[in-house]
Amino acid sequence: MKSRAPRFPIQTPLHYRESGRQGWSDGTTVNISFTGVLFRAAKPLDPKTMIEMRILIPAEITGKGPANVVCWGPVVRTVPAGPDDRRPALAASILDYRLTHNL
């Protein structure tokens, strides 16, 4: 059985778009690991949809200043909206990433 990467309960702004698309949608992370991210989204996307994400990592986490992580990967599952949040959640794998301090 494959073990899961540790998850960090970080709630921070996230922007995402389907690979190859121009416009960005807004979201908020629920938790992040080295292998993926769970975030609240504006709308659900089908599993296997490749997305690009820009995640703002706060200075408290980086220890230097806020940073953007730009990452790419497929949606692996969609969690329907619930009573606590009217937005669906998307779980996406992180296949590749780039860190930048340019906001």
pLDDT at residue number 2? 58
Q: Which of 86, 93, 6 is nearest to 44 (CA)?
A: 86
Domain-embedded: residue 47: yes
- How many domains is the chain partitioned into structurally? 1
Domain-embedded: residue 8: no
pLDDT at residue number 53? 96
CATH number at residue 81: 2.40.10
Q: What is the mean pLDDT of each run of 10 residues along the chain (103 residues)?
A: 74 93 94 92 93 86 80 95 88 92 58
How far is C-alpha 65 from the chain's CA centre? 20
Domain-embedded: residue 5: no
Domain-embedded: residue 59: yes
Q: Which structural domain, as residue segments, surrounds residue 79?
A: 13-100
Q: Residue 36: exposed, middle, or buried by beta-carbon count in 10 A (0-12, 13-18, 19+)?
A: buried
